[in-house]
Amino acid sequence: MPSTPRGRRRPLILSASMGAGHDTVAAELARRAAASGAEPHVADVLGLLPCGLGDGLRRSYQASVRHVPWAYGAVYAAFLRGGGGPRPSGVPLARLAAGRLMDLVQRLEADVVVSVFHLAAQLTGDLRARGRLRVPSAVFLVDFAVHRQWLHPGNDRYLCLTDSAAAEVRTALGAPAVTTGPAVAPAFRSPAPGADRWRERFAGQAPGRPPVLLSAGAWGAASRPDATARLLTGAGWLPVVLCGRNAQLRERVSRVSGALALDWVEDMPGLLSAAYALVDNAAGQTSVQALAVGLPVIGYRPLPGHGLDGVRRMADLGVSAPAPDGPGLLAALGRLTEGGSERAERVARGRRLFRGDPMAYVARL
């Protein structure tokens, strides 16, 4: 990207406050940009929508994935999943944020826009195609499964987690797409100072029981995590349920004898480093962080929509194991013995995903 008059680059990173995953990625991209001498700015694309529309979208999505996930699955099938025939486009909604985005680009003197959310990718692609956005736009496609709302031919470059995702983008758009791997903070790829504290807590909670993390995301959206916790407890594991910011979920799981229910966790590197495995339902940032740490991932009871597609894609890549039911979950855990070949191979495949710095490619635009 070209230098500004002051000689420092100014990337504008468009995130979305849908849970915490997109904001986590945006913050890491901004950290990397600042470390290279740039002046990054992060904005929430939902906040650029008029009349509180972004807040409404966030609340409706949160309610659906928590309480009626089948409804979100139907929306995903109609608007996001690929397929033959005409499908609704995200461009009309994205265009509602165009004026505020253009004002922000001008005010910040941004010289590139980087999208880490699919609505933002639709917005920048449309503006570039119509000649309104005069600076390059890159899309960091943070999902393992590529859905159609990420794709717009107007964007200048796509940065993808895997070779298969990059190939899908090139086939669909004919646009430049490169494989960078995920972007996680350095703490997830270094020894975690907090791991010993977590191990002590787990040993005090349930001596001799290996801790298995159950991820429910920032919003605490999961299918029957209390039942999964009972299954694990009965089989000799310590279920540690990550309830996010869902107080009701934490209260419900806390009633399961032998389970540990956690609310929002700040020390994720330490927690992941102290665990035996992660049981994941969405193929989101928690699973990516686990892969960076070297913690095996098992996909179980995935959320409908992008969660299901992402969990399947991770399994196809060999970086996670799918568990179709309770006995399958226990069998998958049993195969991950410390020092065993399957555990070592899965950890190695997961770590090989981390290839490069997405912001290094952005700097070349």
| Residue pLDDT, tens place only, 320-339 | 999 999 999 999 999 999 88
Q: Which phi and psi (to 5°) does residue 131 adopt?
A: 75, 10
* Distance of alpha carbon 123 from alpha carbon 265, whole angstroms: 33
Q: Which residues on adjacent β-strands are paired with residue 43?
A: 14
> Are 262 and 241 spatial neighbours (Cβ–Cβ below 8 Å)?
yes
**The predicted structure's pLDDT at residue 331:** 97
User: Which domains does the chain carry?
Assistant: 11-179 (3.40.50), 190-351 (3.40.50.2000)
DSSP state of 235: T
* Distance of alpha carbon 308 from alpha carbon 301, whole angstroms: 8
Helix, coil or strand: residue 136:
coil
- Strand pairing category for 112-115 and 157-160: unpaired
Average pLDDT over residues 9-30: 96
Q: Which residues on adjacent β-strands are paired with residue 211?
A: 238
pTM score: 0.94
Tokens representing 218 are 């920032």
**The predicted structure's pLDDT at residue 4:** 47
Angle (CA) 350 176 38, round 5°: 75
Residue whose pair of structure tokens reads 């998958």 in the numeric block? 332
Q: Write the pLDDT tens digit of every residue in 198-251.
A: 999 999 999 999 999 999 988 888 889 999 999 999 999 999 999 999 999 999
Residue of higher predicted confidence among 67 and 158: 158
Flag the least confident range among 2-16, 134-148, 285-299, 325-339. 2-16
Residue whose pair of structure tokens reads 């010289």 in the numeric block? 111
**Nearest to 116, CA basis, from 192, 20, 37:** 20
Tell me what the pLDDT averaged over the chain comes to.
93
**The predicted structure's pLDDT at residue 86:** 58
DSSP state of 48: G
**The predicted structure's pLDDT at residue 2:** 43
Flag the least confident range among 57-71, 134-148, 183-197, 324-338. 57-71
* Distance of alpha carbon 306 from alpha carbon 147, whole angstroms: 8
In this model, does residue 270 exceed pLDDT 70?
Answer: yes
Residue whose pair of structure tokens reads 């397929």 in the numeric block? 83
**Nearest to 314, CA basis, from 344, 276, 286:** 286
In this model, does residue 6 exceed pLDDT 60?
Answer: no
Average pLDDT over residues 164-173: 96
